[in-house]
Amino acid sequence: ISPRAVMAELFGKAAGCSGGKGGSMHLFDASLGFLGGHGIVGGHIPLTTGMAFAAKYRGTDQVAICYFGEAAVNNGAFHEALNMAALWKLPAIYICENNRYGMGTALERASAIYDISERACSYDMATEVVDGQEVLAVKAAMDRAVQRAREEKLPTLLEVRTYRFMGHSMSDPIHGHYRTKEEVEEQRKRDPIAVWSKQLIADGVMTEDAIRDMDRQVVEEVDDAYRFADEAPDPEPEALFRDVDAPEPA
Protein backbone atom coordinates (compact mmCIF):
# COMPACT_ATOMS: atom_id res chain seq x y z
CA ILE A 1 0.00 0.00 0.00
CA SER A 2 1.40 3.39 -0.90
CA PRO A 3 2.22 5.92 1.83
CA ARG A 4 -0.29 8.30 0.27
CA ALA A 5 -3.12 5.77 0.50
CA VAL A 6 -2.28 4.96 4.12
CA MET A 7 -1.95 8.58 5.22
CA ALA A 8 -5.18 9.55 3.45
CA GLU A 9 -6.94 6.75 5.31
CA LEU A 10 -5.62 8.06 8.63
CA PHE A 11 -7.05 11.45 7.67
CA GLY A 12 -10.42 9.87 6.83
CA LYS A 13 -10.20 10.95 3.20
CA ALA A 14 -11.82 9.35 0.15
CA ALA A 15 -8.40 8.62 -1.35
CA GLY A 16 -7.55 6.37 1.58
CA CYS A 17 -7.05 2.65 1.02
CA SER A 18 -10.38 1.99 2.77
CA GLY A 19 -12.13 5.04 1.39
CA GLY A 20 -11.67 6.91 4.64
CA LYS A 21 -13.92 4.50 6.53
CA GLY A 22 -11.33 2.30 8.19
CA GLY A 23 -8.88 4.59 9.91
CA SER A 24 -5.81 3.21 11.64
CA MET A 25 -7.47 -0.03 12.77
CA HIS A 26 -8.95 -1.18 9.46
CA LEU A 27 -6.49 -0.58 6.65
CA PHE A 28 -7.46 -2.79 3.70
CA ASP A 29 -6.56 -3.41 0.06
CA ALA A 30 -7.78 -6.68 -1.42
CA SER A 31 -6.10 -5.91 -4.76
CA LEU A 32 -2.74 -6.32 -3.00
CA GLY A 33 -3.77 -9.41 -1.07
CA PHE A 34 -3.96 -7.38 2.13
CA LEU A 35 -7.24 -8.30 3.78
CA GLY A 36 -7.19 -5.82 6.56
CA GLY A 37 -6.29 -4.96 10.09
CA HIS A 38 -8.75 -5.73 12.87
CA GLY A 39 -9.67 -3.88 16.02
CA ILE A 40 -10.44 -7.06 17.96
CA VAL A 41 -7.28 -8.60 19.41
CA GLY A 42 -6.61 -11.89 17.63
CA GLY A 43 -9.79 -11.61 15.59
CA HIS A 44 -7.94 -11.99 12.31
CA ILE A 45 -6.14 -15.23 13.20
CA PRO A 46 -9.07 -17.52 12.24
CA LEU A 47 -9.48 -15.51 9.02
CA THR A 48 -5.90 -16.37 8.14
CA THR A 49 -6.71 -20.05 8.50
CA GLY A 50 -9.70 -19.52 6.24
CA MET A 51 -7.61 -17.75 3.62
CA ALA A 52 -5.05 -20.55 3.72
CA PHE A 53 -7.86 -23.06 3.24
CA ALA A 54 -9.08 -21.08 0.22
CA ALA A 55 -5.59 -21.10 -1.31
CA LYS A 56 -5.30 -24.86 -0.86
CA TYR A 57 -8.83 -25.46 -2.17
CA ARG A 58 -8.14 -23.41 -5.30
CA GLY A 59 -4.76 -25.03 -5.85
CA THR A 60 -2.74 -21.81 -5.87
CA ASP A 61 0.73 -21.25 -4.41
CA GLN A 62 -0.52 -18.41 -2.21
CA VAL A 63 0.44 -18.27 1.46
CA ALA A 64 -1.72 -16.69 4.16
CA ILE A 65 0.27 -14.65 6.68
CA CYS A 66 -0.85 -12.79 9.77
CA TYR A 67 0.84 -10.78 12.49
CA PHE A 68 -0.23 -10.42 16.11
CA GLY A 69 1.22 -9.61 19.50
CA GLU A 70 1.97 -12.06 22.28
CA ALA A 71 -1.15 -10.97 24.17
CA ALA A 72 -3.33 -12.40 21.38
CA VAL A 73 -2.22 -15.99 21.96
CA ASN A 74 -4.39 -16.23 25.08
CA ASN A 75 -7.42 -15.74 22.86
CA GLY A 76 -9.26 -19.03 22.33
CA ALA A 77 -9.57 -18.38 18.60
CA PHE A 78 -5.77 -18.57 18.32
CA HIS A 79 -5.79 -22.21 19.39
CA GLU A 80 -8.79 -23.15 17.27
CA ALA A 81 -7.22 -21.58 14.19
CA LEU A 82 -3.82 -23.24 14.65
CA ASN A 83 -5.40 -26.61 15.35
CA MET A 84 -7.38 -26.50 12.10
CA ALA A 85 -4.38 -25.28 10.11
CA ALA A 86 -2.29 -28.20 11.34
CA LEU A 87 -5.10 -30.71 10.96
CA TRP A 88 -5.92 -29.67 7.40
CA LYS A 89 -2.27 -29.00 6.43
CA LEU A 90 -2.80 -25.41 5.32
CA PRO A 91 -0.24 -22.97 3.84
CA ALA A 92 -0.37 -20.45 6.68
CA ILE A 93 2.26 -18.53 8.65
CA TYR A 94 1.32 -17.15 12.05
CA ILE A 95 3.80 -14.49 13.17
CA CYS A 96 3.78 -13.54 16.83
CA GLU A 97 5.59 -10.24 17.41
CA ASN A 98 6.53 -10.79 21.03
CA ASN A 99 7.48 -7.37 22.39
CA ARG A 100 7.01 -8.56 25.99
CA TYR A 101 4.14 -6.22 26.83
CA GLY A 102 0.44 -6.43 25.94
CA MET A 103 -0.40 -2.75 26.38
CA GLY A 104 0.98 -2.39 29.91
CA THR A 105 0.87 -6.03 31.00
CA ALA A 106 4.12 -7.99 31.02
CA LEU A 107 4.02 -11.40 29.33
CA GLU A 108 4.88 -13.28 32.53
CA ARG A 109 1.84 -11.76 34.26
CA ALA A 110 -0.57 -12.97 31.60
CA SER A 111 0.83 -16.24 30.25
CA ALA A 112 1.59 -19.46 32.11
CA ILE A 113 4.49 -20.13 29.74
CA TYR A 114 7.04 -17.59 28.53
CA ASP A 115 7.99 -19.31 25.26
CA ILE A 116 5.13 -18.59 22.86
CA SER A 117 6.66 -21.01 20.34
CA GLU A 118 5.91 -23.95 22.64
CA ARG A 119 2.21 -23.52 22.00
CA ALA A 120 2.69 -24.87 18.49
CA CYS A 121 3.75 -28.22 19.95
CA SER A 122 0.15 -28.89 20.94
CA TYR A 123 -0.72 -29.06 17.25
CA ASP A 124 2.47 -30.72 15.97
CA MET A 125 3.17 -27.53 14.04
CA ALA A 126 6.57 -26.31 12.88
CA THR A 127 7.80 -23.39 14.97
CA GLU A 128 10.82 -21.14 15.34
CA VAL A 129 12.01 -18.48 17.76
CA VAL A 130 13.65 -15.57 15.93
CA ASP A 131 15.60 -12.54 17.12
CA GLY A 132 13.41 -9.78 15.75
CA GLN A 133 16.21 -7.23 15.98
CA GLU A 134 18.29 -9.15 13.41
CA VAL A 135 17.06 -8.42 9.89
CA LEU A 136 18.69 -11.38 8.16
CA ALA A 137 17.55 -13.83 10.84
CA VAL A 138 13.94 -12.76 10.33
CA LYS A 139 14.26 -13.01 6.55
CA ALA A 140 15.78 -16.49 6.74
CA ALA A 141 13.04 -17.73 9.07
CA MET A 142 10.37 -16.30 6.79
CA ASP A 143 11.99 -17.90 3.74
CA ARG A 144 11.86 -21.29 5.46
CA ALA A 145 8.25 -20.82 6.51
CA VAL A 146 7.15 -19.76 3.02
CA GLN A 147 8.98 -22.71 1.47
CA ARG A 148 7.28 -25.06 3.94
CA ALA A 149 3.89 -23.58 3.13
CA ARG A 150 4.32 -23.74 -0.64
CA GLU A 151 6.10 -27.05 -1.02
CA GLU A 152 4.67 -29.05 1.87
CA LYS A 153 1.39 -27.17 2.43
CA LEU A 154 2.18 -26.96 6.14
CA PRO A 155 1.68 -24.09 8.60
CA THR A 156 4.30 -22.43 10.81
CA LEU A 157 4.23 -20.42 14.02
CA LEU A 158 7.06 -17.89 14.19
CA GLU A 159 7.79 -16.20 17.50
CA VAL A 160 9.69 -13.02 16.66
CA ARG A 161 11.15 -11.56 19.84
CA THR A 162 11.36 -7.80 19.61
CA TYR A 163 10.70 -4.70 21.69
CA ARG A 164 8.35 -1.71 21.58
CA PHE A 165 10.30 1.51 22.09
CA MET A 166 7.30 3.83 22.22
CA GLY A 167 4.14 3.69 24.27
CA HIS A 168 1.26 1.44 23.24
CA SER A 169 -0.89 4.45 22.31
CA MET A 170 -1.06 8.23 22.66
CA SER A 171 -2.26 7.78 26.23
CA ASP A 172 0.74 5.62 27.14
CA PRO A 173 4.00 7.40 28.08
CA ILE A 174 7.15 6.03 26.46
CA HIS A 175 8.23 4.42 29.69
CA GLY A 176 4.87 4.08 31.43
CA HIS A 177 4.45 2.66 34.90
CA TYR A 178 5.22 -0.89 33.77
CA ARG A 179 8.83 -0.51 32.61
CA THR A 180 11.79 1.66 33.52
CA LYS A 181 13.56 4.32 31.50
CA GLU A 182 16.76 2.30 31.85
CA GLU A 183 15.11 -0.78 30.32
CA VAL A 184 13.91 1.16 27.28
CA GLU A 185 17.27 2.85 26.73
CA GLU A 186 19.07 -0.49 26.97
CA GLN A 187 16.76 -2.02 24.37
CA ARG A 188 17.21 0.96 22.04
CA LYS A 189 20.83 -0.11 21.61
CA ARG A 190 19.47 -3.02 19.55
CA ASP A 191 17.17 -0.96 17.32
CA PRO A 192 17.09 -3.16 14.19
CA ILE A 193 17.32 -0.19 11.83
CA ALA A 194 20.42 1.16 13.56
CA VAL A 195 21.99 -2.29 13.91
CA TRP A 196 21.36 -3.15 10.25
CA SER A 197 22.68 0.22 9.07
CA LYS A 198 25.94 -0.31 10.95
CA GLN A 199 26.23 -3.82 9.52
CA LEU A 200 25.74 -2.60 5.95
CA ILE A 201 28.47 0.00 6.46
CA ALA A 202 30.83 -2.52 8.08
CA ASP A 203 30.30 -4.96 5.20
CA GLY A 204 30.91 -2.26 2.60
CA VAL A 205 27.43 -2.64 1.14
CA MET A 206 26.47 0.99 1.81
CA THR A 207 28.22 4.15 2.93
CA GLU A 208 27.14 6.53 5.69
CA ASP A 209 26.28 9.12 3.03
CA ALA A 210 24.08 6.61 1.20
CA ILE A 211 22.20 5.78 4.38
CA ARG A 212 21.72 9.48 5.15
CA ASP A 213 20.34 9.95 1.63
CA MET A 214 17.95 7.06 2.18
CA ASP A 215 16.78 8.59 5.47
CA ARG A 216 16.21 11.91 3.70
CA GLN A 217 14.19 10.22 0.96
CA VAL A 218 12.01 8.52 3.56
CA VAL A 219 11.31 11.84 5.29
CA GLU A 220 10.44 13.43 1.94
CA GLU A 221 8.08 10.56 1.10
CA VAL A 222 6.31 10.88 4.45
CA ASP A 223 6.01 14.65 4.05
CA ASP A 224 4.57 14.15 0.57
CA ALA A 225 2.02 11.66 1.92
CA TYR A 226 1.04 14.14 4.65
CA ARG A 227 0.50 16.98 2.18
CA PHE A 228 -1.46 14.69 -0.14
CA ALA A 229 -3.75 13.53 2.66
CA ASP A 230 -4.26 17.03 4.02
CA GLU A 231 -5.32 18.35 0.62
CA ALA A 232 -7.35 15.32 -0.50
CA PRO A 233 -11.17 15.68 -0.60
CA ASP A 234 -13.42 14.29 2.11
CA PRO A 235 -15.74 11.39 1.24
CA GLU A 236 -19.05 12.47 -0.25
CA PRO A 237 -22.14 11.96 1.96
CA GLU A 238 -23.43 9.22 -0.36
CA ALA A 239 -20.41 7.10 0.59
CA LEU A 240 -22.16 6.32 3.87
CA PHE A 241 -24.49 3.98 2.02
CA ARG A 242 -21.84 2.17 -0.01
CA ASP A 243 -20.06 -1.00 1.12
CA VAL A 244 -22.74 -1.70 3.72
CA ASP A 245 -23.50 -5.09 2.18
CA ALA A 246 -21.23 -7.48 0.36
CA PRO A 247 -21.59 -7.26 -3.44
CA GLU A 248 -23.60 -9.90 -5.24
CA PRO A 249 -21.45 -12.69 -6.74
CA ALA A 250 -20.69 -12.19 -10.42
Proportion of the chain above pLDDT 90, given as a percent: 74
In DSSP terms, 160 is beta-bridged to: 97, 130
pLDDT given at position 68: 95
- Domain boundaries defined on the chain: 39-190
Write the CA distances from 73 to 76, 81, 101, integer angstroms.
8, 11, 13
Q: Is-contact 98 71, C-beta < 8 A? A: no
Output the pLDDT for position 224: 98
Q: For domain 39-190, give the fold.
A: Rossmann fold (3.40.50)
81 Cα distance to chain centroid: 17
pLDDT tens string 98-139: 999 988 888 888 888 889 999 999 999 999 999 999 999 999
The answer, as to whether pTM is greater than 0.85, is: yes
Instruction: Tell me the percentage of the chain whose pLDDT exceeds 70.
Output: 99
**Is the pLDDT confidence value at 142 over 90?**
yes
Strand partners, 68: 96
Give the residue-averaged pLDDT of 235-249. Answer: 88
Instruction: Write down the mean pLDDT value for the chain.
Output: 93
Report the sign of the C-alpha dihedral through residues 149, 151, 153, 157, in that order.
negative
Q: What is the pLDDT of residues 20-29, one digit of tens each?
A: 999 888 898 9
Sequence-ordered strand ranges (E) for 121-226: 126-131, 156-161
**Could you tell me the pLDDT band of residue 175, with boundaries at 50, 70 and 90?**
low
